[in-house]
Structure 1
């Protein structure tokens, strides 16, 4: 997989700032003096989930663990089903992308060391099948953790790693920009026709796919409720999550703007999909950043996959209340832990292992997952980030039909739907194009 194919595989929000935004800026023709558009996009993503949060009062955590568990706020049963299917499809798709990106990060470390010791002109291409399998094995072990509440330490490590590689990428991009003594790139991105240009169709598909990638980078509604239900109170959960959303999206947007603008100014239209692949020296700093990416994705995978485990395991336990496979708890004593023991059910051991194995196999089959992520982002942006939260808010707040607020919310719905449809068209076109020359089960860098 080359650097262009690797873009947007990133683990979560800040990962995509480092690995994707420069290429996204090229795709949409962005430039350093366009923060207003990004702030508007930021608000479109931040406000609808906040509309969903203020559900005060005691409630059962198990009854409302997932986004589609807010059944009383969705007017029609069909909407509940569609919301649930969309949510878990995006979560599953995201962990496939994380697997590919982790393997790409390991290959980048190997290639960086190869070029440092053998020279930048040496043939240091890498094949990533082994690294994909290695990452899958690690996730099989971590997937035996009981629940999302038990992976707090993984989330903390992932957050530290995300800041590490993001600051490294920002520093390297700024240093390259300063050494160039001028800003590369153009106001409208890649030009159409002529030497070094692209066709009008390619430019259009790139623009539309960039919309999908940006939408996917900001979509977090599918995890918002799961995380909220693990927050302790007081203060109330919705107050804590409002503050976390405000700070989290604000910091993320700052990274997006900084890395997008500085990276595009440093590389211009030749910006690599993964900004770290654009640097060879200092090799130890590039290696540090790529190792941080891999460690981050190890944790991000669990944050996204644990709600999926909780969903199907709780359903199976309820459906088969007497089956030992789902209820009988086994214990394995750990050396050096005294009375401590690792407890699990055969359901967790078998099904979670099978799930991780399946996502690993899909990762091997889809080395062009950038286009898939764009499609997933297009599919998730409108329903999960806008439509369902807005619908729930209208139901809960009893917003009168035809009022100014109701019209504004419906206008937001329509605008988000148009963006999602356009992004989906661009991603599908890219998938069709790549299917003609892709090699299944072969990921290269």
Structure 2
């Protein structure tokens, strides 16, 4: 794919500087650019849907390996770092006058050059988006299974693999929706559900109270295994802050003029999203760990049994949420693949046949991986480190240093380098540990059971 240079783009828009222009390149494939009709609250519920997802249910499990002090510190530090890097991305969306970088990929190419930028940003973004969708396949299937077990205790049990397939089957239809704006309703419902089931998770844990002989001691295992599990817990926390992979795509839906740039409503929506994020994450992590201690499962809802109707409702809410979240992360992937095929083979990119083939193949792929490796906690750690740490923790800081060039040893310079160091450590540690734990757990797992 080829994009116009920044100089060429400036030239294109110089005649009418009053308003940012659509760029007549791959960004507007098939004569269609992103719809600029979004409001600030669109960015709120899209961001909540992107961030507050499956990862929140594993936070008590991460706390069981990190402990009270380090666990709370990591949660708070991650919240602050990723809020800062999200602010940076929102500011960089229109860093060049008259040009809007509507995709993380476009911003990366602008910062590092057409070739290097593509290799740096695109693989990481795809890992986040595809990784999220794989985890959401597993989460949706598991929660459907749990819902039916509670709602119909006398029904014949069905294999978990079948439930994941049932959940995946829904997306063969939903994936045919054309763009971000078309999934706004599903995204809003998902955001409401995420707040609801997170509240149920911590209120249910509080009502449940501490289990008998609750222990907050570190889990007993070998030193090597424990080290890997701690690193995996870091990845699970990282997975909970995944919204950066789609933040520019969300901002692209908001109109922008010199008088009212898109960064103002987008930042307002992001702040509200992070507020909701905080009231979901911290109570679930801390109260869930308080109730179950080191014996908490990697999905805290599974540990809760009563009241049955409430826990069943919470699991169903998770299903609704991950339905919307799957589409939020899948839409940029669909856009990229369809644009690439359209350009390479000179076909109508918005054609129904192309959409049907590409999107159905993607859903089938994520479904297959989810059914084959349904290790919820390990998947969170692996994808959290491999893709989420770069896109959420340190790539925005690297781009900021590259484009803004803050003075050496200034506050901005120090903060950005601190984010880079922390992010790189988390990426390396949690990726290696997550992969190791998947291999270890797979050795005792009966596939497609």
TM-score class normalised by the smaller sequence = 0.7 to 0.9
Superposed structure 1 runs of 4+ greater than 4 Å apart: 33-37, 57-61, 401-404
Residue from 266, 274, 277 that aligns with 1:249: 274
Structure 2 unaligned residues grouped into runs of 5+: 1-48
Structure 1 residues 10-409: aligned runs within 5 Å: 13-16=51-54, 18-30=56-68, 35-55=72-92, 56=94, 59=98, 64-70=101-107, 71-74=109-112, 77-115=115-153, 126-177=158-209, 184-186=214-216, 188-190=217-219, 197-233=220-256, 235-321=260-346, 323=347, 326-327=348-349, 345-401=352-408, 405-409=412-416
146-155 or 413-422: bigger deviation: 413-422
Residues 1:428 and 2:435 are matched in the alignment: yes
Quick one: structure 1 residues 183 and 304, their matched pair in 2 at CA, closer, same or farther if it must change by over 3 Å?
Answer: farther
Contact 2:105 2:118 in 1 (8 A): yes
CA distance in 2, matches of 1:22, 1:263: 5
Give the 3-state SS of the residue equivalent to 2:218 in structure 1. coil
**Residues in 2 aligned to 1:201 and 1:259: alpha-carbon distance in whole angstroms:** 28
Map of 2:29 onto structure 1: none
Deviates more, 1:226-235 or 1:212-221: 226-235
- CA distance in 1 between partners of 2:419 and 2:144 (Å): 41
Compared CA separation, residues 356 and 34, structure 1 to 2 (3 A)? closer
Aligned length: 397
- State the Cα deviation string for residues 361-401 of structure 1 (Å, max 9, x = none): 11111122432331111112442123321122123323245
Cα deviation per residue 1:165-208 (whole Å; 9 max; x = unaligned)? 1121122111012x76x99332x532xxxxxx322223222111
Contact 2:110 2:117 survives alignment (8 Å): no
Q: For 1:436 and 1:349, how far apart are their aligned partners in 2? A: 37
Conserved? CA contact 1:17–1:259, under 8 Å: no
C-alpha separation between the residues in 1 aligned to 2:381 and 2:140? 18
Q: SS of 1:399's equivalent? A: coil
Compared CA separation, residues 368 and 16, structure 1 to 2 (3 A):
closer
Shift, 1:134, TM fit = 1.7
Contact 1:157 1:296 in 2 (8 A): yes
1:126, CA displacement in angstroms? 4.3
Change (3 A) 1:165 1:239: same
Aligned-pair CA distance for 1:81: 1.8
Q: Which residue of 2 aligns with 1:339?
A: none
Q: Quote the offset at 1:135 in angstroms.
A: 1.6
CA, structure 1 residues 45+397, in 2 after alignment: closer, same or farther (shift >3 Å)?
same
* Aligned-residue offset at 1:113: 3.0
SS in structure 1 at match of 2:118: helix
Q: Give SS of 2:298's match.
A: coil
User: Does the Cα contact within 8 Å between 1:400 and 1:406 map onto a contact in 2?
Assistant: yes
Once residues 84 and 18 of structure 1 are traced to their aligned partners in structure 2, the CA distance between those partners, rounded to angstroms, is: 26
CA contact (8 A) 2:63 2:71 kept: no
Residues 19, 129 of structure 1: alpha-carbon distance in 2 compared, 3 angstrom cutoff: same
Q: Distance between the aligned counterparts of 1:154 and 1:114, measured in 2?
A: 27
1:183/1:266 contact within 8 Å kept? no
Displacement after TM superposition at 1:318 (Å)? 2.0
349-358 or 100-109, which deviates more: 349-358
Task: Tell me, in whole angstroms, the C-alpha distance in 1 between the residues paired with 2:164 and 2:439.
Answer: 24
- CA drift at 1:54: 1.6
Q: Deviations over 1:19-39 (max 9, x none)?
A: 1111011011136x9645432
Measure, in 2, the Cα distance between the counterparts of 1:144 and 1:423: 34
Consecutive unaligned residues of structure 1, counting only runs of 5 or more, are 1-10, 119-123, 191-196, 330-343
TM-score by length of 2: 0.81
Structure with more relative contact order (C-alpha pairs < 8 Å, separation 6 or more): 1
TM value normalised by structure 1: 0.82
